[in-house]
């Protein structure tokens, strides 16, 4: 009765705590949602044929409604597309970046394509996402800023965040699959015990009801109901530790997966390098020739001219709360001009109606300029896919001009060929090879009288005049190099995935230690062959300060047409190169010390035309430059296909898809939770990556420890009960309660307190339960427990004081010199026995029961101590003070029960008195079990050299795809084929779907759904 009552109370308490926790989470989510769900909005509705504006609650909005956005800060209650005017929004909830983003209205197009297809990858620049904050609006000729509602509720950006918290993506992790299999084994184990129980009790003539009860008891004992809770305990504590370190998690199931990460993809700008850029110099161009470089800071200011105007207006900066806000690159570039932004609400621009234009004017420190100011009439915001941004500007009282800035190679392609210097490629590579970030500038004049809003991006960004190169210094973050060295020492691959120039990326990778000084970089260049459906691929060693390689790199970036001197794979011809260089490169290649670098364009062509080569390239691919967001997602998925456990660390904006696709995506952001990724770090450095891996490894090992302990605890109890069933005996209610509550529950709660070990070791914990060391550990400890209990059960029956019928004879036989007191005690105890005859009939009290229960209870403590692993993945066990104190306290209580001879206590616990010699014998048996268990665990189970030797002896090799591929390539002396060109077949594999990577309703949705 007492046991049943305790179970009911525990169950009710567990249900109450679960409901309370769910309630707390629901309240938090409700607050997250209601901030934008209960606001008043202005919509345009049709009434009796006339359009009128009316205000209503935001939860009444439906797709198709036309919103009117007023001046001032506003939270967006839905996803909407801007159809007139311009907005500045704070998308930090969405991307994790607090930089204001400019949104422009949907362009007027003559074609009948759906807007998403017409805008291509640039469509997000017209969409206002739910949960983001509009901080500024600028109306056009119509006088109001309008947007059409696209999505509401859970289909919006914020709805996707809430849904990802409510229903996280299920992770197909081996640990969870193996846990289910192990549970099935325990159920089979329990079935055997049930059959045994039925046979024993039925053959002894027990009633059918009693037989059923005893059989069902076996199931609850063999299959521990607390196992799922025990597995999540470590994750909960790890989540708390991560939160204290500024790392927030909205998908706790992925924490264990972090313990298996062996490849990390890093964005470059803002992740490996500083967010802020320092303006280093300007290389102006006049009459297709580069002029002398203008260094910053300089004694003399920049002279007035097209380059100065481009720096003053070609940006998306705003004045917010008295400060210039926007992209750090734009801020540095604009500050160099010493001009200021006039943050007045509107300016009447001649010929442009009542356009609310941003006007920039000379500041107090600015050099003299022949104009009063320049108005920015229209913006084409920066697009990762297009790698550029443009503005239409007009000098006050002057003509309209277009200014474009972006990736130099992209800007050069948009310029008239006669305006681009002949030495453009060599100059560009000269600076990118030093790790500078280089921006191209261009401009052109517009015809007078043409409305800026009527022009398409294609019309604006064509026939430009090249103005020069802006050179910016992007320093590595202080933490970058030590973190990458730590990951390298732990044999965790680091890969750079960036939108920047390939040479800049390679230089930064070398400076950061991602590519060591002795390793060779091989440029992989893939191009489509004009006029055919085939493509070519070339491998060239990238040697610094070599003109030929500059030329090869320029080809990879699409800066000049390919040389006609190419070779087929059937008859490759080597380029001329010095024998010493060739020998040095070959030596590096033979030792596997080489890295591939490729651009996003080459990656896409390889994925389409050279699919069979892609895994080989990824195996040593370290730098991926000029990658679009879709290509980043695709790359992460391709790494996962090679059986890598992939982490992605980025800023949350352009990396959003890759962050979601990766096993563990870490967004460097100030937000606690964002739709960008499962993990968010408030510390804006990659130091959070090894921290997360350490905690993930500790959580994974804790899960294994808890799993082993729960399995052993239930098995120990199961074996003890089956032994006692042989004599129609069993554990008493308080005995079960003591083992379940006082021992196992407390251990289950405190065992997971052990923190992560501060050093990352060069190997990972096992990812599955069905691994030889873990299974051997469980099996051997089960055998030790079985031997201990069977030995105690059998030997106690051989003792001279043992009596099957008189359970009080043992203590009487050794206390004959106290005959009187013994007689009184005997009478009293016999009286108790007679008074509790029903309890004795249940078969609880016996020498076997006392021996087996005491041995099994202390055995649970032994197993808990032995299984509580410390190094190399967790801190030493003695650092978990609470757990050690709990074990000492529990051991003290158990030893007290062993040696105490308190009649009332023994009666309640269904124990009987045994001679002191037998009690000492039990302690010796337990000490031997502890020594054997500890010795096996340390000398065999945790002996890594022994398992490596066994693997080598039996020629066991990893089944991971990338490991198998590594072994194949080690035997291939012809890989990689240097200075050779291969052609693909004419049939290309369509990868348009896969190039999109992760499909997220926030950012990608079917046109029909709109």
DSSP readout, 612-653? GGHHHHHHHEEEEES--HHHHHHHHHHHHHTT--EEEEE-SS
Q: How far apart are CA 355 and CA 346, in angstroms?
A: 7
CB burial of residue 107 (10 Å; 0-12, 13-18, 19+): middle
Q: How far apart are CA 925 and CA 910, in angstroms?
A: 22
For 442, phi then psi, to 5°, come to -150, 165
Query: Own/partner pairs for 577-585, CB < 8 Å, 24+ apart?
Result: 577/979, 581/543, 585/520, 585/541, 585/978
Q: How far apart are CA 239 and CA 230, in angstroms?
A: 15
DSSP readout, 715-768? HHHHHHHHHHHTTT----HHHHHIIIIIIIIHHHHHGGG--B-SS--SS---S-
SS3 197: helix
Q: Is the peptide bond before 297 cis (omega within 30 degrees of 0)?
A: yes
- Give the chain's radius of gyration (CA, Å): 37
* Catalytic residue list contains 267: yes
Sign of the dihedral through C-alpha 792, 795, 800, 804: positive
Helices marked H in 434-568: 457-460, 480-489, 502-512, 547-556
Place of tokens 């679009």: 628
Residue 367 region by backbone torsions, left for phi larger than 0, else alpha for psi between -120 and 50, else beta: beta
Specify whether the CB–CB gap between 996 and 632 falls below 8 A: no
Q: How far apart are CA 402 and CA 585, in angstroms?
A: 47
Q: How far apart are CA 389 and CA 410, in angstroms?
A: 11
CA atoms within 13 A on the CB side of 982: 16
Alpha carbon distance, N-terminus to C-terminus of the chain = 62
Question: Between helices 480-489 and 688-725, what is the axis angle to 10°?
Answer: 40
H, E, C per residue of 940-972: HHCCHHHHHHHHHHCCCCCCCHHHHHHHHHHCC
Instruction: Please pick, among 79, 267, 740, 910, the residue that the annotation labels catalytic.
Output: 267
Q: Determine the Cα angle at 236 with ends 175 and 230, to 5°.
A: 55
Catalytic residues: 267
């Amino acid at each position: 009765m007492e046991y049943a009552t305790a179970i009911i109370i525990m169950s009710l308490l567990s249900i109450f705590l679960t409901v309370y926790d769910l309630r707390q989470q629901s309240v938090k989510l409700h607050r997250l949602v209601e901030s934008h769900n209960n606001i008043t909005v202005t919509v345009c509705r049709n009434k009796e044929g006339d359009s009128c504006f009316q205000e209503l609650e935001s939860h009444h909005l439906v797709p198709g409604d036309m919103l009117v956005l007023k001046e001032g800060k506003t939270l967006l209650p839905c996803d909407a597309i801007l159809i007139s005017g311009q907005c500045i929004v704070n998308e930090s909830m969405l991307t994790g970046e607090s930089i204001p983003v400019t949104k422009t209205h949907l362009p007027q197009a003559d074609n009948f394509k759906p807007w998403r297809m017409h805008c291509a990858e640039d469509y997000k620049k017209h969409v206002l996402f739910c949960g983001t904050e509009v901080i500024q609006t600028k109306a056009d000729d119509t006088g109001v800023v309008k947007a059409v509602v696209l999505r509401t509720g859970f289909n919006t950006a914020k709805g996707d965040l809430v849904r990802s918290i409510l229903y996280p993506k299920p992770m197909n992790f081996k640990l969870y699959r193996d846990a289910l299999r192990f549970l099935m084994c325990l159920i089979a184990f329990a079935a055997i015990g049930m059959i045994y129980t039925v046979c024993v009790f039925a053959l002894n003539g027990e009633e059918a009801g009693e037989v059923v009860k005893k059989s069902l008891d076996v199931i609850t004992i063999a299959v521990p109901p607390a196992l799922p809770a025990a597995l999540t305990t470590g994750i909960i504590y790890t989540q708390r530790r991560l939160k204290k370190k500024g790392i927030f998690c909205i998908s706790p199931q992925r924490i264990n997966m972090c313990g298996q990460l062996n490849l990390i993809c890093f964005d470059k700008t803002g992740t490996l390098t500083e967010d802020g850029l320092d303006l280093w110099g300007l290389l102006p161009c006049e009459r297709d020739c580069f002029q002398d470089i203008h260094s910053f800071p300089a004694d003399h200011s920049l002279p007035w001219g097209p380059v100065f105007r481009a720096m003053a207006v070609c940006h998306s900066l705003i004045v917010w709360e008295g400060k210039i806000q926007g992209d750090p690159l734009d801020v540095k570039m604009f500050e160099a001009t010493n001009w200021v932004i006039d943050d007045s609400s509107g300016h009447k621009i001649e010929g442009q109606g009542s356009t609310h234009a941003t006007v920039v004017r000379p500041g107090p420190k600015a050099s003299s300029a022949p104009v009063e100011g320049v108005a920015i009439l229209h913006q084409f915001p920066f697009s990762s896919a297009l790698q550029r941004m443009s503005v239409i500007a007009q000098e006050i009282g002057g003509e309209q001009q277009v200014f474009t800035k972006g990736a130099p190679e992209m800007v050069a392609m948009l310029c008239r060929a006669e305006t681009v210097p002949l030495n453009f490629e060599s100059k560009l590579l000269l600076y990118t090879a030093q790790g500078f970030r280089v921006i191209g500038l261009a401009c052109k004049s517009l015809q007078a009288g043409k409305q800026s809003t009527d022009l398409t991006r294609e019309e604006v960004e064509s026939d430009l005049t090249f103005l020069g190169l802006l050179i910016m210094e992007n320093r590595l973050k202080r933490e970058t190099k030590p973190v990458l060295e730590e990951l390298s020492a732990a044999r965790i691959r680091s890969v750079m995935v960036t939108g920047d120039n390939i040479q800049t990326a390679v230089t930064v990778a070398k400076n950061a230690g991602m590519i060591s000084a002795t390793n060779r970089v091989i440029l992989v260049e893939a191009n489509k062959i004009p006029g055919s459906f085939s493509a070519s691929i070339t491998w060239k060693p990238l040697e610094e300060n070599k003109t030929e390689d500059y030329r090869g790199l320029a080809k990879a970036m699409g800066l000049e047409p390919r040389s006609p001197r190419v070779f087929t794979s059937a008859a490759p011809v080597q380029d001329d190169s010095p024998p010493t260089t060739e020998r040095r490169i070959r030596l590096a290649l033979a030792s596997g010390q080489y890295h591939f670098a490729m651009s996003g364009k080459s990656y896409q062509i390889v994925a389409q035309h050279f699919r069979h080569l892609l895994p080989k390239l990824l195996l040593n691919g370290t730098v991926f430059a000029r990658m679009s967001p879709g290509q980043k997602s695709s790359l992460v998925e391709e790494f996962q296909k090679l059986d890598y456990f992939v982490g992605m660390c980025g800023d949350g904006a352009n990396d959003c898809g890759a962050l979601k696709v990766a096993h563990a995506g870490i967004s460097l952001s100030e937000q606690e939770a964002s739709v960008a990724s499962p993990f968010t770090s408030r510390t804006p450095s990659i130091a959070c990556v090894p921290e997360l891996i350490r905690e993930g490894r500790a959580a994974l090992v804790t899960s294994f420890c808890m799993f082993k302990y729960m399995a052993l605890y239930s098995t120990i109890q199961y074996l003890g009960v089956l032994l006692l069933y042989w004599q129609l005996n069993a554990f008493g209610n308080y005995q079960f309660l003591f083992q379940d509550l006082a021992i196992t529950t407390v251990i289950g709660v405190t065992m997971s307190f052990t923190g992560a070990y501060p050093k990352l070791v060069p190997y990972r914990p096992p990812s599955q339960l069905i691994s030889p060391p873990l299974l051997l550990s469980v099996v051997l400890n089960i055998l030790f427990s079985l031997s201990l209990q069977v030995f105690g059960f059998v030997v106690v029956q051989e003792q001279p004081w043992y009596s099957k019928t008189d359970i009080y004879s043992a203590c009487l036989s050794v206390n004959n010199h106290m005959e009187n007191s013994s007689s009184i005690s005997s009478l009293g105890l016999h009286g108790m026995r007679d008074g509790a005859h029903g309890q004795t009939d249940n078969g609880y009290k016996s020498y076997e029961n006392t021996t087996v229960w005491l041995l099994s209870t202390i055995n649970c403590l032994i197993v808990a101590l032995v299984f509580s692993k410390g190094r190399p993945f967790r801190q030493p066990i003695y650092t978990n003070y609470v757990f050690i104190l709990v074990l000492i306290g529990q051991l003290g209580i158990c030893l007290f029960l062993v040696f105490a001879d308190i009649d009332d206590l023994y009666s309640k616990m269904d124990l009987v008195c045994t001679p002191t010699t037998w009690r000492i014998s039990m302690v010796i048996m337990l000490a031997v079990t502890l020594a054997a268990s500890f010795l096996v665990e340390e000398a065999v189970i945790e002996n890594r050299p022994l398992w490596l030797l066994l693997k080598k002896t039996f020629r066991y090799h990893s089944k991971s795809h990338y490991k198998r591929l590594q072994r194949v390539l080690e035997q291939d002396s012809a890989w990689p084929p240097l200075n050779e060109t291969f052609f693909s077949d004419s049939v290309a594999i369509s990868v348009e779907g896969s190039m999109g990577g992760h499909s997220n309703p926030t950012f990608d949705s079917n046109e029909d759904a709109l």
